[in-house]
Structure 1
Amino acid sequence: MPLAQPEERPAAPLQNARAHADAIAAGTFGFFDYGPPLTLNAWLRPIGPGQLRLLRRVATVIAIGWLPLLLLATLEGNAWHADGGGFLNDHAVQARSLVAATLLVLGEATCAPWLTAIASQFVTAGFIGGGDRPAFTRAVAATREALRSRRAVIAILLIAYASTIAIFAAVGLPRTWLSTFSGTPSLAGWWHLQVSAPLLLALLLGWVWRAWLWGRFLMRVAQIELKLAPTHPDRVAGLGFVGHSLRAFAVPAFAMGTIVAGAIANAVQRGGSPFAHGGLIAASLTAILLLFTAPLLAFSRRLLGTWHRGVLRYGATAAELGRKFERAWIGKHGEEHPPPDPSTTADLNAVVANVYAMRVVPVDVLSLVALAAAALSPLLPVLLLTIPLDQLLADIKGLLF
């Protein structure tokens, strides 16, 4: 089933719920493609393959969010200041309007297919029976409809503009390329307040909206009678694949980390130390991890119930086999006919150990570390700013010669 173009109305639910679920299972129903702010897609009226559409959206974000700032700052003579304070000297705005905004758009290319594949796994791996497929279909349809919601787009844009106005009213503008000598916004400053900053906030809120919808989708799936196996070696009853969604959010996490790194880079440029901003780094990392990990809590109640039932059933079986093993091999020999095989007992104990070691959140350590690394890696160039250039060149020369 072909994907609907972003400017089209959401596709009506298929009449045959089983065919709808099969399309998802086959990976041809990209229900998580696109998302707010949809107005950007409507402006572009994209025609052609998905990669071309993505590149056009990236070009549009740069053309309206960053390029006018460069042109206006140049016109006003604020493109570069030898002592800092120029547009090109401002690491924070480069990180926000050029790098982060671009990555927040590019993140769709990796996130949407990954989440679609994870969703299809519920059907292909047999977690959802034929009788429960209509409920799964409704969850998918509701998610696609919400992603294309006009009301959500309007709300995101209103929140973005209101937040920009509130921040400006609270802290004002720094005396850089953003303002004139009298303290009023420069032409570039006005564009930043009215276009660039709201655009970035809209892109960020779009990802918050996606994360919330992903959590709502998982919550609806968790309400279906899933066929979970408490003995599964992933120790989350077979739902370990859902935790891989953290890796799907690596690009937006990197973009968010870039915004923080840009602000810290400005402070380092003025003579500060990046280590003085440990609180900001810790808070931003915590917020990013919570944003993309919280949706996985949708399965906690179901996993807790599966663990409880598994402990009761498999624990009783292991205890009975253990008593038979002791009577046959340690107590009175020959009492059991035939005595339990030691290898069978060991295998059962290993299976039961998986049950007792079950986690109530399908998050694996490697995925969590990958997400944290993506959010923190933009700070590495900031640390290089603390090393004098002559010392850095000398160290490189020492490594090469």
Structure 2
Amino acid sequence: MGPDKTSAGPASGPGNEYGLFDGGPPLRLLRLWGRFDPQHRHVVRRAIVVVCVGWLPLLALALVALAVGNVDVWQAFLRDASVHARSLIVAPLFVLAEAICIPRLGALAHTFRERGIVPSSQAPAYEKIVRSIRRLRDGWPVEALAVVLAYVIALLLIQHVPASFLPDWHRSPTGAPLGRSLASWWHALVSLPILLVLLLGWCWRVFLWARYLWLVSRLELRLVAAHPEGAAGLMFVSYSLPSFSILGVAIGVTVAAMEMAHLLTGGTVSLEQLGRAAFGTVVGVVIVFTAPLLVFSGPLLRTWHRAVATYGALAQRVGEEFEDKWMHGNQGEETSEPLSSADFSAVADLFQSVDKAHTLRLVPVELRSVIALGAASALPFGLVALTLVPFDEVLGKLVGALL
């Protein structure tokens, strides 16, 4: 299988959640046009098409302006880091993310049943949840609404943002409609809607993921308070955060590119200003993708309350029996070796389980998963920061840190 062919996994069927989030704009439209096969996504090929349709015509029209002697338009286009970042990096990343996020989210959803967290008594209710997510995933209204909304946003921007507020390559010296160049119209009516439809598609998938988790959290789940991972067996949902890292990179690139564009057009960007933008972006990304996991705080809190009572009572009873036997009792055997007794091992294991139950996390979020997502979102800002600091200064700091 080539690098641009990624299996989506089975799309439906009872007890099969691998394709549960395999939908959303614009995948249904692509299926209608015969340009999408869920078994072979061809994400690399589709990402190239997005670049060819969204960015190459802008380049061609800018070259036409250069050919007729309009050097300012050509230079303004080259300096517009925002449009290059959105069309060359962000839009393709949204396509490539399908091959990473969708299968992983489906695998995490399947884990609920695979591990027995959803007991057999809750199977009918769980199947109802899966069917409802599939209906929302495959609905035509969302697909159509995404396209309509993308063009509404584009038209509102055309109407309310004058060309004089945009980089020079958007303006036409020949009295074109609304004073916009052909490249500006292509960007507004083709490039921007493509990006918005891809973005709205991911907003819809994240909503489906959040709704799925919320509905599952309302079931009577089989949670084990003393589970070694510290979240009653639910810590695996935290692995969704690294899966969203590619989207974090895309969002970070979008914001960082605006700072870079300001810098390239003669503006000034301080490290402090860039740091504030990076901090806000990272916090926003982490909140958006972590918030759906908070729906399990209620079940975990109830599990903790139950565990504190039941595990505590068991520990008290076993502890009393242990002390009566080994500390207050009369064994009558001087050769007995208490530390080699199985009682000590059993009691130690029990008390470890009790301690695990008492320290149960109320939010199934792993710190390293949050760090992975945050670092991915911050990476583009780090690259921009390198342009603000002289290379010899950066090299000196690195050498100093290593020594």
TM-score range, shorter chain: 0.7 to 0.9
**2:302 pairs with 1:300:** no
**2:64 pairs with 1:64:** no
Aligned equivalent of 1:319:
316
**2:194 pairs with 1:199:** yes
Alpha-carbon displacement from aligned partner over 1:209-248 (angstroms, at most 9, x marks no partner): 1111101111122222221101101111101111111121
What aligned pairs does 1:167-206 form with structure 2 within 5 A after superposition?
167-169=157-159, 171-172=161-162, 173-180=165-172, 184-206=179-201
Which one-letter code corresponds to 1:174 in the other structure?
L
CA spacing shift, 1:247–1:393, aligned 2, 3 Å: closer
User: Conserved in 1, the CA contact under 8 Å of 2:239 and 2:369?
Assistant: yes
| Distance (Å, rounded) in 2 between the aligned partners of 1:187 and 1:91 | 19
CA spacing shift, 1:328–1:302, aligned 2, 3 Å: same
| Displacement of 1:250 | 1.4
Give aligned pairs, total.
Answer: 374
Aligned equivalent of 2:239:
244
Aligned equivalent of 2:214:
219
Alpha-carbon displacement from aligned partner over 1:115-165 (angstroms, at most 9, x marks no partner): 111111112211223342232222222222212221112222233233334
Aligned equivalent of 1:130:
120
**Higher deviation after alignment, 353-362 or 181-190:** 181-190
Identical-residue share of aligned pairs (%):
37
User: Conserved in 1, the CA contact under 8 Å of 2:65 and 2:74?
Assistant: no
User: Conserved in 2, the CA contact under 8 Å of 1:218 and 1:298?
Assistant: yes
| Displacement of 1:350 | 1.3
Aligned equivalent of 1:88:
78
Aligned equivalent of 2:3:
none
| Distance (Å, rounded) in 2 between the aligned partners of 1:395 and 1:300 | 43
| Distance (Å, rounded) in 2 between the aligned partners of 1:147 and 1:343 | 51
Determine helix, strand or coil for the equivalent of 1:235: coil
Which one-letter code corresponds to 1:259 in the other structure?
T
What aligned pairs does 1:86-125 form with structure 2 within 5 A after superposition?
86-125=76-115
Which one-letter code corresponds to 1:91 in the other structure?
A
| Distance (Å, rounded) in 1 between the aligned partners of 2:353 and 2:71 | 67
CA spacing shift, 1:81–1:89, aligned 2, 3 Å: farther
What aligned pairs does 1:350-369 form with structure 2 within 5 A after superposition?
350-369=352-371
Structure 2 residue aligned with 1:382, among 381, 384, 392? 384
Q: TM-score, normalised by structure 1?
A: 0.82
Which one-letter code corresponds to 2:296 in the other structure?
F
| Displacement of 1:260 | 1.1
Q: TM-score, normalised by structure 2?
A: 0.82
Aligned equivalent of 2:250:
255
CA spacing shift, 1:187–1:83, aligned 2, 3 Å: closer
CA spacing shift, 1:203–1:138, aligned 2, 3 Å: same
| Distance (Å, rounded) in 2 between the aligned partners of 1:87 and 1:159 | 27
CA spacing shift, 1:394–1:43, aligned 2, 3 Å: farther
Structure 2 residue aligned with 1:346, among 324, 337, 348? 348
| Displacement of 1:47 | 6.3
CA RMSD of superposed structures (Å): 3.3
Alpha-carbon displacement from aligned partner over 1:102-126 (angstroms, at most 9, x marks no partner): 0001000011111111111112211
| Distance (Å, rounded) in 2 between the aligned partners of 1:74 and 1:393 | 38
| Distance (Å, rounded) in 2 between the aligned partners of 1:80 and 1:166 | 28
Structure 1 residue aligned with 2:134, among 117, 140, 144? 144
Aligned equivalent of 2:307:
310
| Displacement of 1:370 | 0.8
| Distance (Å, rounded) in 2 between the aligned partners of 1:267 and 1:71 | 24
CA spacing shift, 1:311–1:90, aligned 2, 3 Å: same
User: Conserved in 2, the CA contact under 8 Å of 1:178 and 1:186?
Assistant: yes
Structure 2 residues without counterparts, runs of 5 or longer: 1-10, 399-403
Structure 1 residues without counterparts, runs of 5 or longer: 1-10, 15-19, 397-401
